[in-house]
Structure 1
Amino acid sequence: MGEVMETIARPVRIRRYVIPFALILLAALVVAGVLMRRTPTGATFGSADQVAMIVVGAILACAVLLLLRPRVRADEHGIEVRNVFQGKWFDWADVRAVSFPDGSPWARVELLADEYYPVMAIQAHDGQRAVDAMRALRAMHREHGGA
């Protein structure tokens, strides 16, 4: 039996921005929650309001961190694309091409039924890493599935 080849790609550059932004957002809402007892307008906030502000900060920070979820994984059987909210598996036989249209922020899988599925894991901002990931996916597609 031969060695199983697998390609995995995730966005890299966006991590530099998303993680600090989520931490700053959480810290700002924690500080706001802790300091929001009394305002100059005379409004008074209770402990439940403070806790709610901190919980909202945690929820928003987690929502921002969802931008780190995209991943693409390909092997000899097909390609799995996981974007922010959902993932999908495609057999190589169903894939016409893996492309990166000019001006697009990310790659896409082109299907035989004249449809396409975005691949948010391979982003234009990642430069050479995106080029390398596209080359690897295209090579796998040529070898295992396509024209």
Structure 2
Amino acid sequence: MPETVPPPPLPVVWRPKKGRLVAYGFAVVMVVGAIVLGVALPPPWGVSDRILIVMFGGMVAYILHLLGRCRVEATEQGIKLVNPLKIHRYEWPEVLDVTLIPGEPWAKIDFADGATIGAMGIQGSEHGLAERQVAELEALIRVKGEAPDR
């Protein structure tokens, strides 16, 4: 991890770059592919079959959107973790620490209520970017939260 990093100006949003590119890229491929397949199917296939194929492509694209929307937002009030299925909101005094262990898929944030939640918006596979994002979030936790100084 980098040494002391100054806290970034608020509000700030941390999100993965590669994960979003892959998720939304495949979503576009799925929708376009479903539309082309729906149009190109031979005559025994009916209109309802074609519509269902396009709807299936849309459903897969929506699932990929859920994966691509992951992020961590910090404001003056606190942080918001947007993961695929749930959004978590915490005020700064509730945030204790953030860790990114090498080899882990994403950062984990510890809270005063004993919860530890994965922050999928900070992807461990993006090594340099993830380290910078974790360092910035740690700096904000030191300034805004009630975590002890290290």
| TM-score, normalized by the shorter chain, greater than 0.5 | yes
**Counterpart of 2:107?**
107
TM-score, L = length of structure 1: 0.83
User: 2-side partners of 1:86 and 1:114: how far apart?
Assistant: 18
User: 1-side partners of 2:26 and 2:104: how far apart?
Assistant: 24
Q: How many residues align?
A: 139
1:25 to 30, 34, 53: 30
User: 1-side partners of 2:98 and 2:68: how far apart?
Assistant: 21
Rg comparison, structure with higher value: 1
Residue 103 of structure 1, CA deviation? 2.0
Of 99-108 and 74-83, the range deviating more from structure 2: 74-83
Unaligned runs of 5+ in 1: 39-43
TM-score, L = length of structure 2: 0.82
- Quote the RMSD (CA, aligned, Å): 1.8
Residue 76 of structure 1, CA deviation? 3.9
The answer to whether the 8 Å contact 1:76/1:140 transfers is no
Residue 72 of structure 1, CA deviation? 0.9
1:7 to 6, 12, 35: 12
User: 1-side partners of 2:17 and 2:66: how far apart?
Assistant: 14
Residue 33 of structure 1, CA deviation? 1.6
Unaligned runs of 5+ in 2: 1-8
Check 1:5–1:23 CA distance in 2 against 1; reply closer, same or farther (3 A cut). Answer: closer
Stretches of 4+ aligned residues off by more than 4 angstroms: none
